[in-house]
Amino acid sequence: MAKSINRKIDKHLRYWQREDTGRPLASVTIAEDFFFSRHYGAAQPLLQPGKVITPDMLDVSAFMADYEQMYQDSLLVEQDGFWV
C-alpha cells in the first residue's frame, strides 16, 4: 500500500508543478447516486428536511462500519484521490 500512496503523492506533485502526468487527476465514488450522506445508515434518522443537526446528535462510532465499507469499495477502483 505504501507504494500506491507514494505513487499518488508523486503524481499529485507532478500535476501541480504542471509536469506531464499522462492524464488529469481523477477521483471517483462508487455509489448509486451523488448524495454521499445517504450511504451512511447511521445518518438516516438525521436526514430529514428541516431537521437541525447538532454535534451531540452525532455518534461517530455508529458511522464506522459504513465508512469502512465505502473505503473498501474505493480500493476496487484505481484513482488518484486520497480517502480521508
pLDDT value at residue 17: 96
Render 55-78 in DSSP notation, one character per residue.
Answer: GGG--HHHHHHHHHHHHHHHTTS-
- Please report which confidence band the pLDDT of residue 31 belongs to, taking 50, 70 and 90 as the band edges: low
53-67 pLDDT tens trace: 999 999 989 989 888
Helix (H, G, I), strand (E, B) or coil at 12: helix
Tell me which of 54 and 1 has the higher pLDDT. Answer: 54
The residue extents of the domains of the chain are: 2-74
Task: Report whether pLDDT(36) > 70.
Answer: no
